[in-house]
Amino acid sequence: MADPFADRNALDANPFADPSVQGALSSGNRAYEDVGSSKSMAFEEDGYGHSGSGVDLGSGGAGQSDAARLAEIERRERELEQRERDLQSRADHIKKHGRNNWPFFYPLIYHDIDVEIPPESQQVVRHLYLLWMLWSASLCINMLACIFLLVSGARDGARDMISSIVYFPILTTLAFLLWYRPAYNAFNTENSLWYYVYFLFMGFHLAYSAYSLIGIPSTGCAGIITVISSFSSSRILAGIFATINTIMVAVQGLGNLWYFREIWKHNHEQGHTFAQAKQELATHGMKAYLTRGSQV
């Protein structure tokens, strides 16, 4: 005999077996499939992944991105053009003057801190170069002060003026050749020879700076004594120029003293010795004074 409770037991065991539940599930699946199909079509129609509602939320961002890329490309093109102009200008200069580029009005040597000096040492060399220029300017001011001493009727004014005129070209050139250029070559090549040449002649320069700062009369040095005597004798212009010269000599002297100490420390940190310097001198001589330091 058939069990009249079989269908009820089956429904109790599996409630989803009811035909009405099965129909509801089938219609729900079809509805989800329709929604998924519509979403898929919308994503395919819109390249940015937005629904086809007619509002393109990504167009503004895309336009800004394109503008930024265009601006970056234009900036790089300008940089390349400027670099090409710089290279062409340097090539023209080398063609006209050779590699020598200093001094600019009559190139005699090659001098380029950015190219020849390691980045970690460029600041030191650049400051030494500024101190050399300050020393040269002080010699020019000193010459003017001595000229005004002569004009104002100072005793031995002629001797001061003649001495100061001789000092200006000679001491400017010697300072460049005897301590600035060796320091430049030292940082360029890290050879012991150039460091000890710098130490030797910078010692003389510091001693002479102190002598010039005092300003002994009739020596062509418009220093402290000249300042006092000029103002006490109402030689105002001579006193003003002598004061300017005294300040400039003091500043460059203190600056050079500071860098003498710093370069001395650097020399020992790099392991350079006086014995190495003597060996390099015996091997190469002093041929790199007016040439690039890399030759030694």
| C-alpha pair distances (Å), 133 with each of 10, 82, 83, 170, 201 | 107, 30, 29, 14, 17
Render pLDDT for 108-131 as a digit per residue (tens, 0 to 9). 889 999 999 999 999 999 999 999
Eight-class DSSP state of 220: T
Render pLDDT for 239-266 as a digit per residue (tens, 0 to 9). 999 999 999 999 999 999 999 999 999 9
Dihedral over Cα of 171, 176, 178, 179: its sign: positive
Which has the minimum average pLDDT: 80-89, 158-167, 207-216, 283-292? 283-292
Dihedral over Cα of 22, 24, 25, 29: its sign: positive
The pTM score is 0.67
pLDDT surpassing 80 at residue 38: no
pLDDT at residue 66, rounded to an integer: 85
Both tokens of 200, joined, read 């030797």
Domain range summary for the chain, segments of one domain joined by +: 6-45, 61-98, 114-295
Tell me the pLDDT of the chain averaged across its residues: 81
- CA 103 to chain CA mean position, Å: 21
Of 236, 211, 204, nearest to 225 by C-alpha is: 211
pLDDT at residue 193, rounded to an integer: 92
Arithmetic mean of pLDDT, 201-223: 96
pLDDT surpassing 90 at residue 149: yes
Dihedral over Cα of 159, 252, 113, 84: its sign: negative
